[in-house]
Amino acid sequence: MNKIVERYNKLADTLDNLSCGKVIEYANIQDADVCLDLGCGRGGDTFEMARLTGNKGKAIGIDLSEKMIEKAKLFANENNINNADFILSDMQNLPLDNETFDICISNCVLNHIKDKEGIWHEIFRVLKKGGHFVISDIYAIDEIPDHIANDEMLIAECWAGAINKNDYIKYIEKAGFTNVEIIKESTPYLKKDFYIASFTIKGHK
């Protein structure tokens, strides 16, 4: 089992806050929207999207950790939530059709992903024309050396996989998104010897 799955399987049974921003309030979710939450964890944001889009819409959460997905499915069953589904999958290779979603969100997940450029093509592929994304994530202010950036345990701790802001925005725009805007940014903070920060970004297909 890789270290990312190992860490998040353990965290599934805790109440720890695993987010790094507030995406839902900028997502502009409308009645009957079809919504996607990448790296949904226990499904907190997915359930909120399901509530906001109502019974004519739905929300799908994707996560790599089977314990996170189990936890989210259990909550949906126990609370009779019928318009939220959860799929165990690596978000780098989504088992989802092209042009399915009105909205894609992701909260503190993309920094874990190996293919930092490819993931944006995958998000672009599954969004409908006219759809949008809102994503909160971490970016690196200091350059993170390869031996740390490739350390699975440190990546799983939500910081070592961070890339710099210019590359981040470049990959989003290269995938084809327009009107890309940074909505919010944190003040920089230290992880080991490296300054990083979190931000929330929005863009349109």
Ligand X SMILES: C[S@@+](CC[C@H](N)C(=O)[O-])C[C@H]1O[C@@H](n2cnc3c(N)ncnc32)[C@H](O)[C@@H]1O
User: Pattern of binders to ligand X over 7-46, x per CB under 6 A?
Assistant: -x---------xx-------------------xxx--xx-
Interatomic CA distance for residues 199 and 194, integer angstroms: 17
**Dihedral angle, C-alpha 181, 89, 112, 92, nearest 10 °:** -60
- Of these, 53, 65, 83, 198, which contacts ligand X (CB under 6 A)? 65
- Shortest separation between residue 44's beta carbon and ligand X, angstroms: 6
CA angle 56, 59, 63 (to 5 degrees): 165
Tokens of 166: 């210019």
Number of H helices, E strands in the chain: 7, 8
Q: Applying CB under 6 A, which part among 47-55, 104-112, 122-130, 166-174 lies near ligand X?
A: 104-112
Nearer to ligand X, 83 or 106 (CB): 106
Does residue 112 belong to the site contacting ligand X (CB under 6 A)?
A: yes
Look up residue 79 and give its DSSP letter: T
Q: Which residues touch 203 (CB under 8 Å, ≥6 apart)?
A: 132, 133, 172, 177, 178, 179, 180, 181
Furthest C-alpha separation in the chain: 48
Nearer to ligand X, 53 or 111 (CB): 111
How far is C-alpha 168 from the geometric centre of its chain's CA atoms? 14
Nearer to ligand X, 95 or 130 (CB): 95
Nearer to ligand X, 19 or 164 (CB): 19
User: Pattern of binders to ligand X over 70-99, x per CB under 6 A?
Assistant: --------------------xxx-------
**# chain residues binding ligand X, by CB under 6 A:** 23
**Dihedral angle, C-alpha 103, 127, 165, 195, nearest 10 °:** 50
- Of these, 72, 76, 103, 158, which contacts ligand X (CB under 6 A)? 158
- Of these, 48, 63, 122, 137, which contacts ligand X (CB under 6 A)? 63
User: Pattern of binders to ligand X over 117-156, x per CB under 6 A?
Assistant: ----------------------------------------
On whether the CB atoms of residues 66 and 40 are closer than 8 A, the answer is: no
Tokens of 159: 């910081």
**Contact residues: ligand X, CB under 6 A:** 4, 8, 18-19, 39-41, 44-45, 62-65, 68, 90-92, 107-109, 112-113, 158
